[in-house]
A and B are shown apart, each in its own frame.
Chain A
Amino acid sequence: MRNPVLNIRNVTKHFGAVKALTNVSFSLSRGEIHALCGENGAGKSTLMNIIAGVLQPDEGEIVLEGKTVKIGSPAAAQSLGLGLVHQEIALCPDASVAENIFMATTSRQRSLLMNYRKLEREAQDVMNRLAPIDVRRKVGDLPISSQQLVEIAKALTLDCRVLIFDEPTAALTEAETRILFEIIRGLKTNGISIIYISHRMAEIFDLCDRVTVLRDGHHVSTEPVADLKPDDVVRLMVGREITQLYPPKQPAGERSHEVVLSVRALGDDHRFDCVNIELMKGEILGIGGLIGSGRTEIAEGICGLRPITSGEILIHGEPQAIRNYADAVNAGLVYLSEDRKGSGVFLDLSIAQNISVLNLDALTGRLGLIDAGAEATLASDFARKLNIRMGSVDAPVSSLSGGNQQKVAIAKQLAVQPKVIVMDEPTRGIDVGAKSEIHTLLRELASSGIGIIVISSELPELLGLCDRVIVIREGTVAGELDAEAMSEEAVIRLASGVNAQNLQNRLASEDAA
């Protein structure tokens, strides 16, 4: 084995009671491109943030070129030659490209005045290696893919020994991806070591030398890419026992063929196109896909929260004109946001006031006044039905636990007696007990005849809860999985396009033959 540049030894990290990393070791050789894989929540980001100085490990040590180091801050990481290209773009939108590229180096510089001409010239040189973007332009005016390239250019100026790329191609076109790969290979020949995080098997197998798989905060394996197939990596990522118990699914014989919701050729000219979905009465339909695949946008499009440009939406066979969310609610279609605190509940208002928000018209009597008694009764009824643990319906929602807040958000939707509920990440950030209560609740609602669509990044939830799963990739339906075909591997394959890759390979070999 070549001598490692970076050695992570037995690192453990807790967040409160949650163990994000358990005894993880990882080593990076000089001039190597090392892929890091794992599902959402496997611990990739935690590990990278430890290397980049954003987080401190609870146990374990980091050895850089034979010396044990302590990386106390991002600035310390940079001065040690460890650079991170963030997945979420971390640039100043009001500053120019040049200023952004040299943000880290200017903060270290001791001179009083900035030499803008020199700065712009050097920035342009770096930028030109990636794409001809004028460095005098404001970052905020650039499209996302160009911003991602600026983020990469910024990392290239840091003179790093180790560079971490966290899903750098998520926002890039294929041509830009190819240029990036050339640059990464160039860095490799200059002896720089790369950690490459990606969900896309094709990229990993195209670019990387070795691959390390993390699962549930544990190191699973590190192998040369040449010894593996994409399917093997997927299996290593998943290979977990499903320990959580889910409510029983619809028995196969009793499935209804009555269509509640039908989405036909829905598109918005931007994030999704030609989406077809059919939801049957009494079923829970799962929607899977990677973050950024367009799952949430499609849900927002169906519910009138995002303008659509093509396609139609039918409820019980009736075409619906949904221009805004109020139209959707009137049509019996409600949406529960993935961002509970940001757009789901009103934290400083009371439980009763939260539950009644969609239903105000029904509670309003003559003179435009709210019937306070009826409002309290409505809230009490739902609190009992959903087992919301609280003091009184007048208490603010902020006084409840996450799981109970989510129940309030669900009660809010149920108060208008919807025909279809679309839930984005219904159990994100909720503890296990409350989670299974919400799962049971959703199953009961489905059995009572309400159509339910659940979007989830958690594969066990998607597979354990749903009767059928649709997987979204790049803004369209990549495939549908029914009862027997449903497995974590199948979902990951569809979501990351492994099948398409196989197909391409096959076509390529046929061409060659």
Chain B
Amino acid sequence: MLAETMGTTAVRAPSWKRLGSMREAGLVAIILALCIAMSFASPHFLTLGNFRAMLMSFSVEGIVVVGMTILLIVGGIDLAVGSVVCFAMVLSGSLFLAGLDPWSASLIGILASALIGAVMGFFVTVVGLNHFITSLAGMVIVRGLCLIITKGTPLSLFTLPPAFKAVGQGSFHGLPYVIIIFVAVVVLFDFLLRRATALRKVFYTGSNEKAALYSGIRTNYVKFWVTVLCSTLAGFAGVIYMSRFGAATPTFGVGMELNIIAAAVIGGASLNGGSGTILGAILGIALLSVVTSSLVLLNVSVYWQDMIKGCILLGAVSIDHFLHKRKAS
């Protein structure tokens, strides 16, 4: 009788329950616990200035994380994002120095980044290489382009007009524009990923490409555009960095891709595709940022920081793997 009732009443779980079962709740708890512990350990931690600095430090990277998460969900990966961030920065910067207005220069920088994504997407979908190898080559090639454009020397952009610099440096009633842009991007893509038909196809393709194909989804088309999206968001981030630093260095963003992939994976994105959320990935990068900030405040040597972050990644993924295995059995 009970089984009968359960079988026939097919309802959605209450929303609080869905929230509770999310991985995001766990990350929030860890971050909060860390913050509370740190507020005892260091008087400088629980200050508005420190929080603003932490938020600023991961806001721009957070935009790249959004693109990477969507790409991971489709079953891809992009090792070239660090190079592309730098590429958009130095291309826009040198166009500005050549006399173009900074807004047009930035637009060209973003479009050129999208084009890089399109080329990688071409190699993945038409030629049939995998994302890892394609983007590994992309990472090296695009870094090379950065060095060619700048002839290896940093570009000094202190002549950028104040209106453009304001994007990266200014604030609205004390709230930096960078953070506003970051939150807008996150909210927009989190919503779209949950609700937009086009992005739902990303989940289908990443979860089971053959089944998606058998459901009439053009999986190559989906993979191509997600690759383009990831590079475009990286280019967008690069332009914001340019505005924020008033400079463009050809070695900027080396190793950034690893931090970004780590954040997405800590946030629940699977390297096998099919799962991941924007919110989780942002919490992942927030966690890494809180850890970095804590280590600095605790005067831990900078040499130790990478190692500790690596251990956190390994721990988070192991716990996830263990929980999944138990659920499966």
List A residues at the B interface (Cβ < 8 Å).
305, 324-326, 328-329, 335, 337, 342-349, 352-353, 357-358, 360-361, 363-364, 368-370, 372, 376, 379-380, 383-384, 387-395, 398, 412
A376 to B10, CA, bound (A): 9
Find A343's partner among B6, B18, B201, B210 (CB 8 Å cutoff): B210
The 5 closest A-B pairs by CB, nearest first: A383-B10, A326-B216, A380-B10, A343-B210, A346-B207
User: In this complex, what residue of B is CB-closest to A364?
Assistant: B197
Q: Is the CB of A348 within 8 A of B213?
A: no
**Chain A residues, Cβ within 8 Å of B274:** 346, 348-349
**Known contacts A325-B216, A349-B274, A357-B215; is-contact A370 B12 (Cβ 8 Å):** no
Are B12 and A357 in contact, with the CB atoms below 8 A?
Answer: no
Residue of B nearest to A373 (CB): B12
User: Do B197 and A360 touch across chains, with their CB atoms under 8 A apart?
Assistant: yes
Please give, as numbers and ranges, the residues of chain A lying within 8 Å of B6 by CB-CB distance. Answer: 389, 391
What's the Cα separation between A393 and B14 when bound, in Å?
11
Interface string of B162-199 (1 = CB under 8 A from A): 00000000000000000000000000000000111110
Q: Does B3 contact A (CB under 8 A)?
A: yes
User: What's the nearest-Cβ distance from chain B to residue A346, in Å?
Assistant: 4
B217, chain A: closest CB distance, angstroms: 8
| Contact with B10, one of A345, A358, A393 (Cβ below 8 angstroms) | A393
Given A329-B216, A384-B10, check contact A398 B208 (CB 8 Å): no
Which of B7, B11, B195, B215 has the most chain A CB atoms closer than 10 A to its own CB?
B215
Per-residue A-contact encoding for B240-251, CB less than 8 Å = 1, 0 else: 000000000000
CB neighbours of B207 from chain A (8 A)? 346-349
A394 near B213 with CB under 8 A, answer no
Q: Does B45 contact A (CB under 8 A)?
A: no
Give the secondary structure class of B's interface: helix
B196-231 CB contacts (< 8 Å) to partner A: 196-198, 200-201, 203-204, 207-208, 210-218
Distance in angstroms between the alpha carbons of A131 and B6 in the assembled complex: 63
- Interface size of B in residues (CB-CB distance below 8 Å): 33
Q: Is the CB of B200 within 8 A of A343?
A: no
Q: List 7 A-B contacts (CB under 8 A).
A: A325-B215, A329-B216, A348-B274, A353-B203, A360-B197, A380-B10, A394-B18
Complex contacts, A379 vs chain B, CB 8 Å: 10
Which chain A residues border B12 with CB–CB below 8 Å? 352, 376, 392-394
Question: In the complex the two chains form, what is the Cα distance from A412 to B216 in whole Å?
Answer: 12
How far does the Cβ of A506 sit from chain B's closest Cβ, in whole Å?
45
A342: contacting residue among B201, B210, B218, CB under 8 A: B210
Contact of B214 among A335, A348, A369, A398 (CB under 8 A): A335
In angstroms, how far is the closest chain A Cβ from the Cβ of B99? 40
Residue in contact with B200 in the complex, picked from A353, A358, A395, CB distance below 8 Å: A353
* A380 x B216 contact (CB < 8 A): no
List A contacts of B328 (CB < 8 A): 398
A481 to B261, CA, bound (A): 59
Question: Using Cβ atoms and an 8 Å threshold, which residues of chain B touch A337?
Answer: 211, 214
B275 within 8 A of A: yes
A392 engages B13 (CB within 8 Å): yes
Q: Is B159 an interface position by the 8 A CB rule?
A: no
Distance between A388 CB and nearest chain B CB, rounded to angstroms: 7
Are A348's CB and B196's CB within 8 A? no
A321, B10: Cα distance in complex, Å: 38
A437 to chain B, nearest CB (A): 11
> Which residues of chain A come closer than 8 Å to B275, judged between CB atoms?
348
Contacts of A368 in B (CB 8 A): 196-198
B196, A345: Cβ atoms closer than 8 Å:
no
Cβ-defined contact, B214 with A387, below 8 A: no
Question: Separation in Å of the A325 CB from the closest CB of chain B?
Answer: 5
Report yes or no: B7 in contact with A389, Cβ–Cβ below 8 A.
yes
A324 to B216, CA, bound (A): 8
Q: How distant is the Cα of A380 from the Cα of B10 in the complex, in angstroms? A: 5
Contact between A346 and B10, CB atoms less than 8 A apart? no
In the complex formed, the residue of A with least CB distance to B194 is: A372
Q: Are the C-beta atoms of A346 and B197 separated by less than 8 Å?
A: no
A388 near B18: Cβ-Cβ < 8 Å? no
A387 touches B13 (CB 8 A): no
A40 to chain B minimum Cβ distance, whole angstroms, is 24
Q: How far does the Cβ of B220 sit from chain A's closest Cβ, in whole Å?
A: 12
A368 vs B195: C-alpha distance when bound (angstroms)? 8
| Complex Cα gap A357–B197 (Å) | 10
Q: Which of A344, A370, A391, A392 contacts B211 (CB 8 A)?
A: A344
Is B301 interfacial (CB-CB < 8 Å)? no
Residue in B198, B213, B214, B274 whose Cβ sees the most chain A Cβ within 10 Å: B214
Chain A residues with CB under 8 Å of B299's CB are none
Given contacts A364-B197, A370-B197, A394-B18, contact A387 B7 (CB under 8 A): yes
Assess whether B7 is in contact with A369, with CB atoms less than 8 Å apart.
no
CB distance from A238 to the nearest CB of B (A): 34
Collect the chain A residues with CB atoms within 8 Å of residue B204's CB.
346, 349, 353, 357
